């Protein structure tokens, strides 16, 4: 994913991807293997289906704050998703033009956590008394990109992190990782024959030693069968907390999506197929399992 930097959105997306690529070893590992095998001619041939972010559902933060950035760049808010067990709400946003990724943003229903977990979250976030996005000049791509890398709250102690982790893996992830890009997603259906089904692509991933999330099965399939998704499992990273202790914790991962052609466009010849002819949006049951790509159960399990 690389844009020409003709507008602030290009600058923001390039910067997000650069930080993510440097941190998540599987990103370059997969790109390099695709180049070596001649599946793509350059990194730019890899189509990015969507990117995802995680937020805390509290005043001045959460989706209501975060979405202002991408709405300013022409993104449109679309469907709502609810994850009861994980205590999450989410929306997806459609891009301003073909070639830009969709965005999936989720938010923790903080009020549904135990008092102990809420106290930890509020201890770090209560100093935020106004929406930090309101203070940004979003026409300045560098300023918006820097905001997405900037910690909005202090680091917790390792003990507080553990308390959150025991109750909500998502809460622990956000407290430490904040607005870091959670994943980018390779559009599998855009690749050449031999690699453009999720079965074939997952075989390729296994052959290069990439570990996949197997919660609910390695391939997650929507009810209409038209959206199929797989994802890697996050690596563990050394994280130092405010008490000076270091723990190995989850970071970001990579996702793979195969969007099939909608029945009403099934008659179109392959050369005429555009992204708009394929299944759009997301699927609650797929997403519910993909969240677990950063969960201890997936990282420690085999
Ligand atoms: C998002 C998980 C859901 C999808 O494509 O359905 C998702 C996350 O892990 O924050 O990415
Ligand atoms: Ni995703």
pLDDT digits (tens, 9 = 90+) for 2-42: 888 889 999 999 999 999 999 999 999 999 999 999 999 99
* Structural domain range at position 266: 8-300
Does residue 3 lie in a domain region? no
Residue 302 binned pLDDT confidence (cut-offs 50, 70, 90):
low
Does residue 202 lie in a domain region? yes
Compute the distance from residue 238 Cα to the ligand 2 centre, in Å.
24
Across the range 74-82, mean pLDDT stands at: 98
Q: Which pLDDT does position 6 carry in this prediction?
A: 82
Report the candidate in 172, 171, 65 with the shortest Cα–Cα distance to residue 111: 171
Which ligand 1 atom sits closest to the C-alpha of 283?
6
**Other C-beta atoms within 10 Å of 160: how many?**
22
Which ligand 1 atom sits closest to the C-alpha of 50?
5
Q: Which pLDDT does position 137 carry in this prediction?
A: 98
Does residue 60 lie in a domain region? yes
> Residue holding tokens 């008490």?
243
The pLDDT tens digits for 264-280 are 999 999 999 999 999 99
Q: Which pLDDT does position 118 carry in this prediction?
A: 98
Using a 6 Å CB cutoff, which residues line ligand 1?
Answer: 52, 54, 104, 106, 182, 229, 255, 282, 286-287, 290-291
Which ligand 1 atom sits closest to the C-alpha of 257?
5
The pLDDT tens digits for 79-134 are 999 999 999 999 999 999 999 999 999 999 999 999 999 999 999 999 999 999 99
The kind and range of the H/E element at 255 are strand 253-259
> Cβ(53)–Cβ(41) under 8 Å?
no
Residue 221 binned pLDDT confidence (cut-offs 50, 70, 90):
very high
Compute the distance from residue 103 Cα to the ligand 1 centre, in Å.
10
Does residue 220 lie in a domain region? yes
Does residue 21 lie in a domain region? yes
Alpha helices in the chain (DSSP H): 8-23, 25-36, 62-72, 115-125, 141-149, 158-167, 169-177, 198-207, 284-290, 296-300
Ligand (nearest to CA of 91):
1
Q: Provide the domain count of the chain.
A: 1
Ligand (nearest to CA of 184):
2
Compute the distance from residue 127 Cα to the ligand 2 centre, in Å.
31
**Other C-beta atoms within 10 Å of 123: how many?**
13
Pocket mutation for ligand 1, best pick of 24, 103, 234, 291 (most atoms within 8 Å of C-beta):
291
The pLDDT tens digits for 170-209 are 999 999 999 999 999 999 999 999 999 999 999 999 999 9
Does residue 172 lie in a domain region? yes
Q: Which pLDDT does position 301 carry in this prediction?
A: 82
Mean pLDDT over all residues of the chain? 97
Report the candidate in 19, 46, 20 with the shortest Cα–Cα distance to residue 32: 46
Compute the distance from residue 244 Cα to the ligand 1 centre, in Å.
31
Q: Which pLDDT does position 43 carry in this prediction?
A: 86
Across the range 155-159, mean pLDDT stands at: 97
Q: Rounded to an integer, what distance in angstroms lies between the CA atom of residue 81 and that of residue 284?
A: 6
CATH number of domain containing 132: 3.10.180.50
**Phi/psi of residue 239, each to 5°?**
-120, 130
Does residue 226 lie in a domain region? yes
Angle of helix 115-125 versus helix 169-177 axis, rounded to 10: 10
Indicate if the pLDDT at residue 1 is higher than 80: no
Q: Within a 13 Å sphere around the CA of 9, how many CA atoms are in the beta-carbon half?
A: 16
pTM for the structure as a whole = 0.98
Residue 215 binned pLDDT confidence (cut-offs 50, 70, 90):
very high
Q: Within a 13 Å sphere around the CA of 121, how many CA atoms are in the beta-carbon half?
A: 29
Does residue 2 lie in a domain region? no
Instruction: Please state whether beta strands 183-187 and 253-259 pair in parallel, antiparallel, or not at all (unpaired).
Output: parallel
Compute the distance from residue 70 Cα to the ligand 2 centre, in Å.
17
Nearest CA to ligand 1 atom 9: 291
Q: Which pLDDT does position 176 carry in this prediction?
A: 97
């Amino acid at each position: 994913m690389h844009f020409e930097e003709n507008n602030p959105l290009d600058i923001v997306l390039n910067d997000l991807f650069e930080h993510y690529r440097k941190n998540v070893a599987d990103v370059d590992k997969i790109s390099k293997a695709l180049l070596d095998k001649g599946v793509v001619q350059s990194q730019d041939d890899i189509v990015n289906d969507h990117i995802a972010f995680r937020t805390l559902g509290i005043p001045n933060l959460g989706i209501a704050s975060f979405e202002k950035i991408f709405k300013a760049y022409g993104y449109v808010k679309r469907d709502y998703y609810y994850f009861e067990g994980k205590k999450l709400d989410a929306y997806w946003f459609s891009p301003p033009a073909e070639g830009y990724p969709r965005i999936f943003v989720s938010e923790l229903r903080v009020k549904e956590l135990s008092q102990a977990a809420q106290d930890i979250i509020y201890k770090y976030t209560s100093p935020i008394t106004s929406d930090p996005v309101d203070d940004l000049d979003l026409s300045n791509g560098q300023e918006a990109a820097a905001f997405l890398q900037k910690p909005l709250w202090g680091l917790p102690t390792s003990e507080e992190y553990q308390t959150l982790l025991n109750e909500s893996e998502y809460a622990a992830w956000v407290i430490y990782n904040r607005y870091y890009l959670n994943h980018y997603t390779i559009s599998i259906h855009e690749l050449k024959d031999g690699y453009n089904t999720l079965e074939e692509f997952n075989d390729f991933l296994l052959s290069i030693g990439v570990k996949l999330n197997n919660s609910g099965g390695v391939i997650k399939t929507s009810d209409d069968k038209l959206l199929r998704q797989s994802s890697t499992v996050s690596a563990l990273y050394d994280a130092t907390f405010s008490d000076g202790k270091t723990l190995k914790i989850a970071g970001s991962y990579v996702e793979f999506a195969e969007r099939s052609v909608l029945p009403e466009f099934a008659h179109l010849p392959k050369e005429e197929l555009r992204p708009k002819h394929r299944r759009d949006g997301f699927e609650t049951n797929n997403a519910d399992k993909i969240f677990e790509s950063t969960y201890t159960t997936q990282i420690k399990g085999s």
